[in-house]
Amino acid sequence: MKRPATSAAGAALKKPAGKMVSLEFPKGFIWGSATAAYQIEGAAFEGGRTACIWDTFCAQEGKVKNGDNGTTACDHYHRFKEDVKLMKELNLPAYRFSISWSRLLPKGRGEPNPEAIKFYSSLLDELHKNNIKPYATIYHWDLPQCLEDEYGGWLSRKVVDDFEHYAATCFKCFGDRCKAWITFNEPWCSTVLGYANGEMAPGKKEKPETEPYIAAHHIILSHARAVKRYREEFKAKQGGVIGITLNMDWRHPLTEDEGDKAAAQRALDWQLGWFADPIWKGDYPASMRKRCGDRLPSFSEEEKQLIKGTSEFFGLNHYSTAYVAAPKGQAKTVSMWGNVQAGGYFDDQEVELIDDPRWGRSDMDWGVVPWGLKHMCEYIQQEYKPEGGILVTENGCACPDDDVNVAKFDSFRVEFYQGYIAQMHKAIEAGADVRGYFAWSLMDNFEWALGYSKRFGMVHIDYETQKRTPKQSALLISEVAKSNKLTLPESTLQESDFVMIEEGAGRKTTKDAPPGQKEG
C-alpha cells in the first residue's frame, strides 16, 4: 500500500485478486464510528455555548491551516438527525461522540444550559430510536476558555473540582440513556501538544520541562475523581461503565541492541505508561520518576488509591507505528509542522523514531503499518490486563478526498481498514481481550491544527453544501458490522503482517506530534 490515490481513475477500487478469506469476530463484538464535538458540531456560538480554548486558538493568526475554525464544521448541531439516519443505514450499532463542556456549562461550572441538555438529549433519543448504542466522551480537548482565563486551565489544581462537577452534570443529565462513558480522549495530545510544542490549544511551549507533566497530573486526578463520583452516585442506578481513552502508536526496537530496546520502552512509558500506569498500577512509570525527578509531580498515597483501578476498559486510539533507536547525542524529533522538538519532555524520553521507507503513507504522511495494532493490543493485554477488555476507540487514515467522485472510491482507506482490522483479529486470536472497534471518523471534519485540509471520514462532507456522501470505506465497515466478520483478499491479509525493516534502511519519522503538518 503506497500513498492514497489523487485521481478518480487511481482511486477506483481494484478488483479483488485471488483468494478471499473471512475472519469471524467474537459474538457481541462492538462495531461503531467516532466523532468529537468541536470537529463536527459547529453552532459554536449558538444555543448558549461559550468559547472554548480551540475557538481562541483558531482565532490566532498562523495557528490553524488556512485560518480554519470549528464555527460551522459539519453543522451536526442542526443536522444530527440526518447523521443518525446515515449511521442506521450503514448498520453501525455504536457511536462514540463527545460532549462540549462550554455548551453544557457555559460558565465552566454552575447550572447546566437547558439548550445544551435539549440538544444532547435529542441526539441520545435519536440514537436509541435507531438502536445505536452511545459512547460519550466527556472531554475531547475543548476546555471552556473562561476557566483558562480564570486560573490557567489544566495547569491549576482548581480544574479538578470543576471537571468533577462537569462530569457529574453529564451523568445527571444523560446517564439514564448513556451507559458507556469515556472521561478523557488522548490526554497525551492535550498535554504534549498543548504545553510542550504548542501546536494545539492552548498553544503553550514556554515550559516543556514542567507544564506537560503538571497538566497531565491534573487530568489524571480529574479522571479519578469523575470515576469515583460516578461509582458512588450513579453507577448502581444507571448501570453503565466508565473508562479512559489513551492514544499510542506502536514503538518497535530498531535492533536487538539493549539500548534500542530500552529506548522503545521509554517511548511507550512516556506516552502510554504516563497515563496508564497510574490508572492500572497506581503510579507513574519508574523510568519517568527517575529521569524527571521533582519535575514530575507525585501522587500522595491517598491519591494513588483514588486513581488505581479507575478504568473499566482500556480505550485505545491507534494510527501508526515507528521503529525506535537510542539517539546518538541529544535526541531531536520533528513534529508534523516540521518543527524540531527538543528540550523538556522531548529530551526526557530520549528516543529517535524511524520509519520503514517501504511503508505506505496516509495523507497525514503517517506510516500504514497494520501489524503495529496487533503488537499494541498484545502489549496492553500483557502489561495492564484490563478487566473490561480493550476498545479500539479510534483507528483510521486521511486520504486526499476533496473531490467527492474520488472520495466515493477510497480504495486506500478500504485497504487500510482491512489490514488493521485483520491484525486486530490476530491479536484476539493470540489472547488479547479486544471487544470493540470504532472507525475514525464517521465523516470528514475539522482536523484541529490542519483545519479542513485533511479528510479522515467514511462519509464525504461538502463543506459548502453540507451534503453527506458515503465512501466505499463506509460500505466496508457497514458490511463488517452487519456480519461481524471481515472478508478480504488473502494477499491483503499477508501484506498486513510484520516484516522487519531492512538493515540500514529507514527515514526519520514525522509521526511525532499528530495532528499537524510538514509544510509550514
Query: Which range has the worst mean pLDDT, 14-23, 24-33, 179-188?
Result: 14-23
440 assigned ligand-binding residue: yes
Mean of pLDDT values over 7-34: 75
- The three cell numbers of residue 46 are 449558538
* Domain annotation covers residue 517: no
With cut-offs at 50, 70 and 90, classify the pLDDT of residue 2.
low
Residue 511 lies in a domain: no
Q: Is 209 annotated as a binding residue?
A: no
Report the amino acid identity of residue 105: L
Residue 12, pLDDT > 60, answer no
Question: CA gyration radius for the chain?
Answer: 21
Residue tagged active-site, from 186, 303, 312, 378: 186
Q: Which residue range(s) make up the domain with 446?
A: 30-496
By mean pLDDT, which of 13-17, 42-46, 87-91, 216-220 is the weakest? 13-17
CA distances from 44 to 81, 282, 335 (A): 18, 38, 29
Give the CA distances from residue 81 to residues 87, 439, 463, in Å, rounded to whole numbers and listed in that order. 10, 20, 18
How many domains, the chain?
1
Instruction: Confirm whether 186 is a catalytic residue.
Output: yes
pLDDT given at position 342:
82
The annotation status of 447 as a binding-site residue, yes or no, is yes
Catalytic residue among 126, 352, 378, 394: 394
Q: What per-residue confidence (pLDDT) applies to 340?
A: 82
495 belongs to the catalytic site: no
> What share of residues in the chain are helix, strand, coil (percent, to 5)?
40, 15, 40
Q: Do the domain assignments include residue 12?
A: no
The per-residue pLDDT for range 52-99, each reduced to its tens digit, is: 999 999 999 999 999 999 999 999 999 999 999 999 999 999 999 999
CB atoms under 10 Å from CB of 169, counted, come to 22
Name the pLDDT band for 147 (thresholds 50, 70, 90): very high
Can you tell me whether residue 34 is helix, strand or coil?
Answer: strand
In a domain, 520, yes or no: no
pLDDT digits (tens, 9 = 90+) for 390-419: 999 999 999 999 999 999 999 999 999 999
319 annotated among ligand-binding-site residues: yes
Q: What CATH code is carried by the domain that includes residue 465?
A: 3.20.20.80
Average pLDDT over residues 22-27: 98
User: Is 140 annotated among the ligand-binding residues?
Assistant: yes
Query: In the predicted model, is pLDDT for residue 10 greater than 50?
Result: no
448 is in an annotated binding site: yes
Q: How confident is the model over 95-133, as pLDDT tens digits? A: 999 999 999 999 999 999 999 999 999 999 999 999 999
443 assigned to some structural domain: yes
Residue 381 confidence (pLDDT)? 98
For residue 181, tell me if it sits in a domain. yes
The answer to the question of whether 115 is labelled as a binding residue is no
How many alpha carbons fall within 13 Å on the CB side of residue 37?
29
* 1 occurs within a structural domain: no
Asked if residue 24 belongs to a domain, the reply is no
Residue 227: its pLDDT value, please? 99
The predicted model gives 364-384 an average pLDDT of 97
Residue 178 near residue 241 (C-beta atoms within 8 A): no
